[in-house]
């Protein structure tokens, strides 16, 4: 590692690091996660129980995710729309399994007006006369309100398919919350499609599972397992839930996106029939699918290190930051000239670059800040660099520094950013593979979970009661029945009953 | 008008028009507006009282608006963030004027759980044991929750300014609703900024007023008046409200965007102080500003005609549509070849073009549909065109058709789309000017409002009671005190008291 700028900057750097450093992952992974999110200004808790504030640093990453997913949805024929925030109780309860699944975590609007509190000046109270005839549920998911609408839109096969998505907020009342991973309100996208055949709906749900996997692996650099959920883990109201599952650095799994084949359940609940090509009447087939701000948690926990966030270049709001190192105004001016040229050059090539010439912060502070925030490449630029026609580039993934001649900067950065995206994926993939195990006995199964965590492939007899007992004994749940599951005769690790293939267990977020 | 495709297509066209035509504006403007929105598939009412469903055709226009506004906000240093949907009652009531202004139109969450209804199987009821200790208000606007947060973010002048925006849904309970113009839930953006000086906050509020005017005029092609609101019309909790006001074709005004200088009101309500450069403590200065899906209503009502929507090219999700006219498969194939080439050519130049080769709809149906939806240019392409190497282009603004040689198509379209944007603005500007009047007596004032509507510039004595009386007598309100108001001695049209300049009155949405 070259240190061309001498002790002074590195002392200020060291000082900042000391005062602002994160709890190491090895010491307390959960505290490290929370510290990182707060210190990197991604999000924080709000005054509203269980609801978070997504700060600009966090939101700008979410915007990049949104933009890419939106592009992928549109490229596959989906359009955006917007449905109401509220679901009248009578619609909410129409699909019984769905209603049952969400009933215990609903925010419920019962009144529509406040009035002056007669006993306390300046205070307000709920006006009892504004009680609603029918309560409104703040949507925990929108199948009910949407299928009640589709009912009016669909008469014949000619009206199908309907391929809609919406970007929205939803509320699921949570008792124990964690920033991004589990909050009472969260942001997400929810796709809701209607089809004339079972086959087409199945294909749609599978397509979205592929798109989610593509997005996770190629944009977030997070390797995922694809598969289906067991009966007890699937979405309330679904026939089949397809999922992508990621593995975090502490060996716990995280469900990163689900797509549901809903069969005709919602069509039946809302009486949505269509005239088929052959002139008969049939119920419409449905899917729904979603990913949420939870992905932000997956991003942090997959790539973060003890210095902070590490952002895959494809999603980094700032890919390159330039920091000037100078003693006087004249030096700053010369540096700024070159830096601004670089900004123009890289911007014109669609790179996201920032020149941070804030005068009230020292270079050490800035170095630390951008490491914490996970900016892929940091260029420092001082008078000696100008003389030698070079820049110092620090690579966030390894924290290594290199001196690069100015005339080789563009090809260097292009190559480095593209290789970083791949390296991050490979690193995470290696971690996932190193932490995927097979267990052939319940003892081994427990040992792996207690000592290492990770994905554990094991035989299961397919019975819900076995699944529950395993979970009660080990806190591990079935994350998925893998896509392309290998047919393999075996015996269930708990019951000893026969099984035809392994499923993936893990302790999970 | 050339009609190269003979009677057949025009008969089918005429038939569609007859069966699907809109109520003419002259007959019932309000019905025309509602019909257009529903028939052009922009939006519709939902099962939830006062809440609308924004359909893909409508949402795609809103997305274009969002993208452009977001660009303008970011170009002026603003960042996006996200704050909770709910505001605890105690925070909501902290700024008294703001609370008072919104108290009567609040959706209130009082419970967080449903349970099975013991008396009716399959039905749910609010679980009385899940009553919240403190009620949550669904945000009608977010000053309260945001300033309660800024309190923790701001210690010193170094933490300022904070320049944030959020795209979100808000709820204001409405008894009488109208699609886009007045709905209980709507989508908007709300900017919330914090500053170290009054001057800086004032400048920010004015800057946003300029940005809104720029957006309205240059993207929506809607001319607007800029000005400030009277005391009684300003935002609850603001010191000054800057606004842009547009004039609809029925002579009624529409408030299209507001930006508020909030003074130190919210800083005082939430005790947000900062250490100034000179070391004293002062309350922080604030602004907030927003535009909403109401702009969709303004767009429809400014440009729509009896055939449907007319979209300014800068915001049209589809700028050019190609419709094939053919008798057999062989013809369709030849047409499609050329059409797909055109799609590639225009797409590569960033034009938004669609080739509609749906087989289950006749050309007449498609012609009608895209006229209704306001697509700026429609190209029809038949075998005779291929022979003659030409296309027929229909111009949505005037419904005129022209035959254009294929090799001149690109420059023709480029020129036409750019001139359409200007023509639409000029047409609306002419309408606004033709419908802006001066009134020097109360009789004239009433006559103008009753016979023509429009903006009426008149002297007012500056007193709230006069303003109220004028409104009671004429249903006209003060839309704004114009920016750069001409100093002119006069007497109030109602009270006869002295006035130093005219203000703008109108009946308004």
Q: What confidence tens digit (pLDDT) does each residue in B67-116 have?
A: 999 999 999 999 999 999 999 999 999 999 999 999 999 999 999 999 99
- Distance, in angstroms, between B131 CA and closest chain A CA? 10
How many alpha carbons lie under 13 Å from residue B234 in its C-beta half-sphere?
19
Tell me how many residue pairs between chain A and chain B have CB atoms under 8 A apart: 184
- Distance, in angstroms, between B355 CA and closest chain A CA? 14
User: For testing the chain A interface, which of B81, B98, B277 should be mutated: the one with the most A CBs within 10 Å?
Assistant: B81
Beta bridge partners of B289: B191, B259
| Distance between CA atoms of residues B305 and A76, nearest Å | 34
Beta strands (DSSP E) in A357-399 are 377-381, 390-395
B47 touches A at CB < 8 Å: yes
N- to C-terminal Cα distance for chain A?
38
| Distance between CA atoms of residues A51 and A56, nearest Å | 16
Look at A86 and B51 and tell me if their CB atoms are within 8 Å: yes
Cα dihedral A42/A45/A48/A52 (nearest 10)? 30
What pLDDT is attached to residue A2? Answer: 43
Residues with Cβ < 8 Å from A496, sequence gap 6 or more?
none
* B436: helix, strand or coil: strand
- DSSP-assigned states of every residue in B33-60: HHHHHHHTTSEEE-SSTT-EEE-HHHHH
- DSSP-assigned states of every residue in B260-302: EEEETHHHHHTT-EEE-TTS-EEEPEEEEEEEETHHHHHHHHH
Average pLDDT value for residue range A382-399: 96
Q: Which residues of B touch A145 (CB under 8 A)?
A: 46-48
Taking CA–CA distances from B114, the nearest residue in chain A reads A103
Look at A112 and B173 and tell me if their CB atoms are within 8 Å: yes
Residue among A92, A93, A74 nearest A84 (CA):
A92
Average pLDDT value for residue range B168-189: 96
Assigned token pair, B478: 């003060």
DSSP secondary structure code for residue A10 in this structure = H
- Given a contact cutoff of 8 angstroms between Cβ atoms, the answer to whether A480 and A225 are in contact is yes
- Given a contact cutoff of 8 angstroms between Cβ atoms, the answer to whether B67 and B189 are in contact is no
Ramachandran region, residue A416 (left: φ > 0; alpha: ψ -120 to 50; beta: rest): alpha
Assigned token pair, A495: 């019951």
Handedness of CA A230, A234, A236, A239 (dihedral sign): negative
What pLDDT is attached to residue A248? Answer: 98
B75 touches A at CB < 8 Å: no
Closest to B84 (Cβ–Cβ): which among A51, A63, A82? A51
Look at B86 and A48 and tell me if their CB atoms are within 8 Å: yes
- Does residue B277 have a pLDDT over 60? yes
B8: pLDDT confidence band, cut at 50, 70 and 90? low
High-pLDDT (> 70) share of chain A, %: 96
Q: Which residues of A touch B107 (CB under 8 A)?
A: 86, 109, 111-112, 136
Residues 347-366 of B with CB under 8 A from A: 360
Phi, psi at A225, each rounded to 5°: -90, 140
B52 touches A at CB < 8 Å: yes
High-pLDDT (> 90) share of chain A, %: 94
Look at B46 and A84 and tell me if their CB atoms are within 8 Å: yes
Per-residue H/E/C for B399-435: CEEEEEEHHHHHHHHHHHHHHHHHHHHHHHHHHHHHC
A113 touches B at CB < 8 Å: yes
| pLDDT tens, position by position, A91-130 | 999 999 999 999 999 999 999 999 999 999 889 999 999 9
A296 touches B at CB < 8 Å: no
Look at A59 and B48 and tell me if their CB atoms are within 8 Å: no
| Distance between CA atoms of residues A505 and A131, nearest Å | 47
Assigned token pair, B485: 């108001």
Look at A106 and B84 and tell me if their CB atoms are within 8 Å: no
List of long-range contacts for A208-213, beta carbons under 8 Å, 24+ apart: A208/A242, A208/A259, A208/A287, A208/A289, A209/A242, A209/A243, A209/A244, A209/A257, A209/A259, A209/A289, A209/A483, A211/A69, A211/A72, A211/A73, A211/A76, A212/A244, A212/A256, A212/A257, A212/A259, A212/A289, A212/A291, A213/A244
C-alpha angle A258-A262-A263 in degrees, rounded to nearest 5: 145
Length of chain B equals 509
What is the average pLDDT value for chain A, to the nearest integer? 95
Look at A173 and B145 and tell me if their CB atoms are within 8 Å: no
- Does residue B168 have a pLDDT over 70? yes
| Distance between CA atoms of residues A373 and A391, nearest Å | 21
What is the average pLDDT value for chain B, to the nearest integer? 95
| pLDDT tens, position by position, A27-61 | 999 999 999 999 999 999 999 999 999 999 999 99
Look at A126 and B109 and tell me if their CB atoms are within 8 Å: no
Look at A124 and B83 and tell me if their CB atoms are within 8 Å: no
What pLDDT is attached to residue A122? Answer: 85
Look at A51 and B96 and tell me if their CB atoms are within 8 Å: no
Look at A122 and B63 and tell me if their CB atoms are within 8 Å: no
- Does residue A3 have a pLDDT over 80? no
- Distance, in angstroms, between B72 CA and closest chain A CA? 16
Closest to B126 (Cβ–Cβ): which among A48, A96, A135? A135
Look at A99 and B124 and tell me if their CB atoms are within 8 Å: yes
Integer-rounded Cα radius of gyration of chain A: 26
C-alpha angle B138-B141-B143 in degrees, rounded to nearest 5: 115
- Given a contact cutoff of 8 angstroms between Cβ atoms, the answer to whether B290 and B244 are in contact is no
- Does residue A316 have a pLDDT over 50? yes
Taking CA–CA distances from B121, the nearest residue in chain A reads A96
Look at B87 and A145 and tell me if their CB atoms are within 8 Å: no
Helix boundaries (H) for A21-123: 29-39, 56-75, 89-92, 96-102
- Given a contact cutoff of 8 angstroms between Cβ atoms, the answer to whether A250 and A297 are in contact is no
- Distance, in angstroms, between B182 CA and closest chain A CA? 14
| pLDDT tens, position by position, B455-480 | 999 999 999 999 999 999 999 999 99
What pLDDT is attached to residue B340? Answer: 98
Measured from the Cβ of residue A487, the count of other Cβ atoms closer than 10 Å reads 6
Strand pairing report for A320-324 and A285-292:
unpaired
| Distance between CA atoms of residues B289 and B105, nearest Å | 20
Taking CA–CA distances from A55, the nearest residue in chain B reads B81
What pLDDT is attached to residue A12? Answer: 59
- Does residue B2 have a pLDDT over 50? no
Cα dihedral A224/A226/A230/A231 (nearest 10)? 120
For residue B112, with 0-12 CB atoms within 10 Å meaning exposed, 13-18 middle and 19 or more buried, which class applies?
buried
What pLDDT is attached to residue A16? Answer: 58
Integer-rounded Cα radius of gyration of chain B: 26
Q: Measured between alpha carbons, how far is residue B425 from residues B184, B220, B221, B250, B509 in Å?
A: 31, 8, 4, 17, 21
- Does residue B258 have a pLDDT over 80? yes
Q: Which residues of A touch B59 (CB under 8 A)?
A: 79-82
Q: Measured between alpha carbons, how far is residue A287 from residues A111, A395, A508, B377 in Å?
A: 33, 43, 25, 36
- Does residue B15 have a pLDDT over 90? no
Residues 368-397 of A with CB under 8 A from B: none
Average pLDDT value for residue range A463-473: 98
Burial pattern A70-108, b for ≥16 Cβ within 10 A else e, equals bebbeeeebbbbbbbbbbbbebbbbbbebbbbbbebbbb
**Tokens 């002074």, residue?**
A8
| Distance between CA atoms of residues A139 and A36, nearest Å | 30
A77 touches B at CB < 8 Å: no
Residues with Cβ < 8 Å from A411, sequence gap 6 or more?
none
What pLDDT is attached to residue B228? Answer: 98
CA B499, chain centre distance (Å): 33
| pLDDT tens, position by position, A244-272 | 999 999 999 999 999 999 999 999 999 99
Residues with Cβ < 8 Å from A120, sequence gap 6 or more?
none
| Distance between CA atoms of residues A219 and B89, nearest Å | 41
- Distance, in angstroms, between B287 CA and closest chain A CA? 18
What pLDDT is attached to residue B119? Answer: 92
A8: pLDDT confidence band, cut at 50, 70 and 90? low
High-pLDDT (> 90) share of chain B, %: 94
What pLDDT is attached to residue B406? Answer: 95
Assigned token pair, B169: 């849904």
Closest to B47 (Cβ–Cβ): which among A106, A107, A145? A145
- Distance, in angstroms, between B23 CA and closest chain A CA? 22
What pLDDT is attached to residue B3? Answer: 46
Taking CA–CA distances from A86, the nearest residue in chain B reads B48
Taking CA–CA distances from A51, the nearest residue in chain B reads B84
- Does residue A1 have a pLDDT over 60? no
A268 touches B at CB < 8 Å: no
How many alpha carbons lie under 13 Å from residue A275 in its C-beta half-sphere?
4
Strand pairing report for A79-80 and A162-171:
parallel
Any idea which of B1-10, B94-103, B175-184 has the lowest mean pLDDT?
B1-10
- Does residue A142 have a pLDDT over 60? yes
A38 touches B at CB < 8 Å: no
B51 touches A at CB < 8 Å: yes
**Element at B7 (helix H, strand E):** helix B6-20
| pLDDT tens, position by position, A416-432 | 999 999 999 999 999 99
Assigned token pair, B461: 């004595």
- Does residue A412 have a pLDDT over 50? yes
Look at B85 and A138 and tell me if their CB atoms are within 8 Å: yes
DSSP secondary structure code for residue A47 in this structure = S
Residues 78-97 of A with CB under 8 A from B: 79-89, 91-93, 96
Q: Which residues of B touch A105 (CB under 8 A)?
A: 112-113
**Element at B377 (helix H, strand E):** strand B377-381
Closest to B114 (Cβ–Cβ): which among A108, A164, A169? A108
A155 touches B at CB < 8 Å: no
| pLDDT tens, position by position, A319-366 | 999 999 999 999 999 999 999 999 999 999 999 999 999 998 999 999
- Does residue B9 have a pLDDT over 80? no
A13: pLDDT confidence band, cut at 50, 70 and 90? low
**Element at A388 (helix H, strand E):** helix A383-388
What pLDDT is attached to residue A312? Answer: 98
Look at B115 and A103 and tell me if their CB atoms are within 8 Å: yes
Residues 171-200 of A with CB under 8 A from B: 171, 173, 185, 187
Average pLDDT value for residue range A11-25: 70
Residue among A134, A164, A132 nearest A147 (CA):
A164
Residues 119-148 of B with CB under 8 A from A: 122-124, 126, 135-138, 145, 148
Look at B81 and A187 and tell me if their CB atoms are within 8 Å: no
| pLDDT tens, position by position, A198-216 | 999 999 999 999 999 999 9
How many alpha carbons lie under 13 Å from residue A337 in its C-beta half-sphere?
7
């Amino acid at each position: 590692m070259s240190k061309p700028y001498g002790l002074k900057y590195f002392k200020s750097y060291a000082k900042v690091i000391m005062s602002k450093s994160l709890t190491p992952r090895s010491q307390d992974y959960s505290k490290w996660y929370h510290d990182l999110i707060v210190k990197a200004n991604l999000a924080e808790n709000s005054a509203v129980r269980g609801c978070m504030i997504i700060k600009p640093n966090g939101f700008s990453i979410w915007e990049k995710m949104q933009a890419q997913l939106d592009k992928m949805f549109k490229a596959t024929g989906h359009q955006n729309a917007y449905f109401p925030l509220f679901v009248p109780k009578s619609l909410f309860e129409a699909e019984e399994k769905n209603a049952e699944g969400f009933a215990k975590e609903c925010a419920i609007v019962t009144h529509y007006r406040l009035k002056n509190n007669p006993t306390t000046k300046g205070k307000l109270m709920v006006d009892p006369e504004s009680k609603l005839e029918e309560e409104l549920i703040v949507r925990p998911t929108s199948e009910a309100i949407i299928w009640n609408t589709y009912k009016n839109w669909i008469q014949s096969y000619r009206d199908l398919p309907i391929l809609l998505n919406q970007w929205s907020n939803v509320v699921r009342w949570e008792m124990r919350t964690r920033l991004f991973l589990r909050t009472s309100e969260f942001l997400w996208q929810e796709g809701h499609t209607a089809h004339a055949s079972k086959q087409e709906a199945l294909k749609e749900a599978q397509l979205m599972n592929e798109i989610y996997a593509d997005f996770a692996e190629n944009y977030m650099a997070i390797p995922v397992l694809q598969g289906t959920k067991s009966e007890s883990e699937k979405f309330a109201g679904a026939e089949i839930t397809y999922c992508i599952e990621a593995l975090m650095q502490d060996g716990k799994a995280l469900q990163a996106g689900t797509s549901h084949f809903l069969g005709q359940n919602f069509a039946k609940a809302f009486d949505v029939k269509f005239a088929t090509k052959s002139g008969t009447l049939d119920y419409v087939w449905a899917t729904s699918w979603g990913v949420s701000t939870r992905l932000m948690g997956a991003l942090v926990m997959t790539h973060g290190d003890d210095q902070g966030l590490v952002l895959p270049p494809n999603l980094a709001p700032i890919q390159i930051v330039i920091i000037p190192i100078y003693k006087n105004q004249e030096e700053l001016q010369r540096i700024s000239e070159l830096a601004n040229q670089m900004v123009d050059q890289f911007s014109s090539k669609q790179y996201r670059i920032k020149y941070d010439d804030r005068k009230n912060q020292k270079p050490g502070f800035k170095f630390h800040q951008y490491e914490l925030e996970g900016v892929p490449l940091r260029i420092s630029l001082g008078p000696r660099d100008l003389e030698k026609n070079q820049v110092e580039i620090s690579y966030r993934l390894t924290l290594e520094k290199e001196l690069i001649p100015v005339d080789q900067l563009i090809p260097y950065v292009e190559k480095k950013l593209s290789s970083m995206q791949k390296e991050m994926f490979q690193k995470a993939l290696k971690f996932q593979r190193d932490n995927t195990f097979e267990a052939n006995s319940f003892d081994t199964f427990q040992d792996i979970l207690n000592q290492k965590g990770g994905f554990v492939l094991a035989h299961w007899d397919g019975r819900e009661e076995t699944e529950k007992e395993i979970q009660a004994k080990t806190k591990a749940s079935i994350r998925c029945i893998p896509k392309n599951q290998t047919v393999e005769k075996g015996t269930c690790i708990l019951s000893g009953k026969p099984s035809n293939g392994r499923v993936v267990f893990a302790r999970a977020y």
